[in-house]
Structure formats: C-alpha cells, structure tokens
Amino acid sequence: MNAVEAKHLSKAFGIRKAVDDVSFELPEGAFLSIFGSNGAGKTTLLRVLSTLARPSDGQAFIYGIDLKEDPDKARECIGMISHASMLYPDLTAEENLLLYAELYGVDDPKARVSQLLDAVGLSHRRLDQVRTFSRGMTQRVSIARALVHDPRVVFLDEPYSGLDPHAVEIFDNLIESVRGDRTFVMVSHDLAKGFGMCTHALVMSRGRVVSFAPKDQLDYDEFARLYRETVGMGVA
C-alpha cells in the first residue's frame, strides 16, 4: 500500500489555485522532498496532506485513508515538524510532551515521554521550561513531540529555518535515527540538503507538479539544472 497518495489534488479558493491537479504515489519508507519557489504551493500541499487544510478537489490518502472521509483516523498516523515548535514556552519539555501524549491517548504516556527525551538527548533538561532552550534544543523537543504517538508518516515544513549548522547536523542525525520504516515528506528551500536526504523528489511551480521521480533515476546536476529552469529562484 502507498504511504501517501494524491489523486488530482487541488486546493483552490475562487480563481486562485494554490495546488492544482497534483497526483503522486509514495511508497512506505520513502523520503519525499518537495521543491519549489515561494508561492509554488509547497506549504499548501503539505497542509492539505497533513489534514490542516481541506482539499477543494481530488483525493488524498494516507495509508489508504481518505483525508476527506476520515481525517481523524488519518491524523493518528501523521506527525509534523515545522519551523514553529508547537510547544508551549512556559511549560517544561516533559509537560509539553505529556500534553501531546495524553491528547493522542498514548499508552503509558510517562514512559513514552522519558524514552523520547532520552532519544533526543534532553533527559537532563526535562524539567526546564521550553522558553529557556536554544533554538536547536527546542527543535529536538519538537521532534520528540511529533513522534509521541509513533506516526507512520512525518511531515517536515522548513524544519531548518533558524538552526545553526551544528544544530542542523544534530537534527539530521536524529531524523536518521528515528527513520525506521516511517515515511517522510519534507518541504525545504535548501536544494542540496533536500536532495541529499530524499528518495523521491517533487518539483512544483505555480501549484502544479513539474516533475516527480525517485532519486535513483535522477542525476543531481541534471536535477539542479531543471530546478533552476523551472523554479528560477531560491537556487542552491
């Protein structure tokens, strides 16, 4: 079964189509990078796939669950890491994770949370308020938050913004360590980075898919050239 699937997916309001007739199929365990200039519809596509926005036309499936029919069921297997941490700054790291664990109804939330804090290497700071954390540490807690209910599909929305190179490295290693057979979908401006991590690449322009292919069929230089031609800006 495909982990993520879009069939003629559109998100329009009035005459403006932010996402226009997008179709693709992503197998389980894949890492999809979505490329495109500002306003190409990447983030909107991600919002539709993660049930934050309703598609106006077409269908989207997460493990065969139609997002329009049963968004709540789909939400159970979706995690999201974005440039905003989605953490309450005045609560401690542990409290934040416990909050999400309880909302998702995770079995034995306490054990799950301490296990996750161990995984992101922040057990020693678990009783500190998130406000006191550096950007890199906040983003690590954010990874733990996104994984609290063990989602099978994880969306990454510009996760690197505001991270210094060292934090980026830690972030990448963490993502690699939690990868397992999870499926990832990432939106990023960074062509080299996005291309380096992915197994599939999707280029968007003006809401449409310009190209969608597994990486092993692509050559980086060739791809960078195509990207530059179609997207034109934000070149790596």
**Three-state DSSP state, 208:** strand
Instruction: State yes or no: residue 212 binds another protein (CB under 8 A).
Output: no
Rounded Cα distance between 200 and 41, Å, is 18
**How far, in whole angstroms, is CA 104 from its chain's centroid?**
18
3-class DSSP state of 124: helix
Closer CB to another protein, residue 151 or residue 223? 151
Binding mask 164-203 for another protein (x = CB under 8 A): ----------------------------------------
102 binds another protein, rule: CB under 8 A:
yes
Which residue number, 90 or 169, has a Cβ lying nearer to another protein? Answer: 90
Judged by CB under 8 A, the residue of 10, 37, 43, 51 near another protein is 51
CA torsion, ordered 78, 82, 87, 93, to nearest 10 deg: 80
Q: Give the number of residues in contact with another protein, rule: CB under 8 A.
A: 41
* Number of Cβ atoms within 10 Å of the Cβ of 30: 19
In the shown chain, the binding pattern of residues 12 to 31 toward another protein, with x for contact by CB under 8 A and - for none, equals: -xxxx---------------
90 forms part of the interface with another protein (CB under 8 A): yes
**DSSP single-letter state for residue 189:** S
What does the alpha-carbon distance between residue 59 and residue 48 come to, in Å, rounded to a whole number?
10
Nearer Cβ to another protein (136/214): 136
**Token pair in block for residue 76:** 């159970």
How far is the C-alpha of 6 from the C-alpha of 231, rounded, in Å?
22
Query: Among 25, 29, 66, 91, which residue sits at the site for another protein (rule: CB under 8 A)?
Result: 91
Strands 200-205 and 183-187, sheet pairing:
unpaired
Q: Is 231 in the site for another protein (CB under 8 A)?
A: no
Residues in the site for another protein, rule: CB under 8 A? 13-16, 50-52, 54, 56-57, 71-73, 75-76, 78-80, 82, 84-91, 95, 99-100, 102-107, 129, 145, 149-150, 206
